[in-house]
Amino acid sequence: MKAGLALLSSTFNYNLSASICQLKTSVTSFFPLFRSNILFNYPSALRAKRNTSSNNLSRSIRTVSAKMASDYKPEQARVPPALPLPVLPVTKFKIALCQLAVTADKERNIAHARSAIEEAAEKGAQLVLLPEIWNSPYSNDSFPIYAEDIDAGGDASPSTAMLSEVAHRLKITIVGGSIPERYCDRLYNTCCVFGTDGKLRAKHRKIHLFDIDIPGKITFKESKTLTAGENPTIVDTDVGRIGIGICYDIRFQELAMLYAARGAHLLCYPGAFNMTTGPLHWELLQRARAVDNQLYVATCSPARDAGAGYVAWGHSTLVGPFGEVLATTEHDEAVVIAEVDYSFIELRRTNLPLEKQKRGDLYQLVDVQRLNLQSTR
């Protein structure tokens, strides 16, 4: 017991002595301030302190930047390394988002889409984006009935034949939303991109199928009838390098990151979000994909039909590289015309140099397709 008390007393005395010693040191450190009257000229002292702090901060930032360049290995955050943005003859142009009402009448849907594209071109659009599944009701029962053999073309694919003809006649680029595609014994949800010459530039088959089950709200399983695509799709057009996704593809940020690493200026997502996830996630996901990758994102939905088996949210939108909503609409039919200016991509990437700040020492995005292509050369 006595030993315990002695130890406690010793500890208390030690802590007290240490505190007194610290206090003496603190008070002593003020003596030069009193002698030099700095305390009585506080504003100037504060300014001097701020200047010193600012200089120190600048030096620290330069040191950290140098460390980032040498230790963080941002160039290794994307494998293979990211491609630069292609230089384009046009950096500013008009885009049209054609939010269309879709019916069970396929011929009517095709004629109606043609009319909307022509209206968009008359208003100066050089790029036109159509909705997901615009030639057919959105249902697993309808997909096999309305599906087309895109590769065969002509009468076997009246929807894409129309897109090709209009693109060539009006000298515009069309990202043709999506239609059900029949290929051999499989069905796909497919987007076709046509150039100003009317030729098919790219075909994107929806990679991530929309299988969702929110009890009491919505249940839908695309995988009951559709097959998932196997390849990301990026295409060079007269209005920039475009990465293509379809609706549910927008939820997977890795796909958008991969497109950005391939030098995309713009991501186009024809989509048909529903009344449950649409209000919560549609705009949020578009802005996230745009601001994360510092590029443009355009989406196009069917118009809302409250009596349909699947009710679309609508709200076709264009988002800029800073995550700003540049143009949008509500749920009714509309042709939204907006301007895309690619110079803002470089500006935002200068404002926030994310590419140079990536931690390649901690994580990597691996573009398996490009990597495999390089290994076979």
Model confidence pLDDT, tens digit, residues 284-316: 999 999 999 999 999 999 999 999 999 999 999
Q: What is the CB neighbour count within 10 angstroms for residue 244?
A: 28
Confidence check: pLDDT of 28 > 90: no
pLDDT digits (tens, 9 = 90+) for 137-166: 999 999 999 999 999 999 999 999 999 999
| Positions marked catalytic | 132, 206, 247
Mean pLDDT of 187-199: 98
Q: Are 90 and 265 in contact (CB under 8 A)?
A: no
The Cα–Cα gap between 311 and 306 comes to 6
Which pTM was predicted? 0.82
- Average pLDDT over the chain reads 88
Q: Per mean pLDDT, which range of 88-92, 159-163, 201-205 is the poorest?
A: 88-92
Structure tokens belonging to residue 223: 């995988």
pLDDT tens digits along 255-291:
999 999 999 999 999 999 999 999 999 999 999 999 9
Quick one: pLDDT band at residue 376, thresholds 50, 70, 90?
confident
Tell me what the mean pLDDT of segment 51-55 comes to.
62
C-alpha torsion 351→355→359→365, nearest 10? 140
Q: Do residues 195 and 167 lie in contact, with contact meaning Cβ atoms separated by under 8 Å? A: yes
Q: What is the pLDDT of residue 377?
A: 74
DSSP lists the bridge partners of residue 296 as 266
Q: What span, in angstroms and rounded, lies between the C-alpha atoms of 180 and 300?
A: 17
In this prediction, residue 105 carries a pLDDT of: 98
CATH class of 92-352: alpha beta
pLDDT top residue among 27 and 60: 60
For the chain, percent of residues with pLDDT exceeding 70:
81
The C-alpha atoms of residue 14 and residue 59 are separated, in whole angstroms, by 40
pLDDT at position 23: 40
Mean pLDDT calculated for residue range 9-24: 44
Q: Which amino acid would we find at residue 213?
A: D
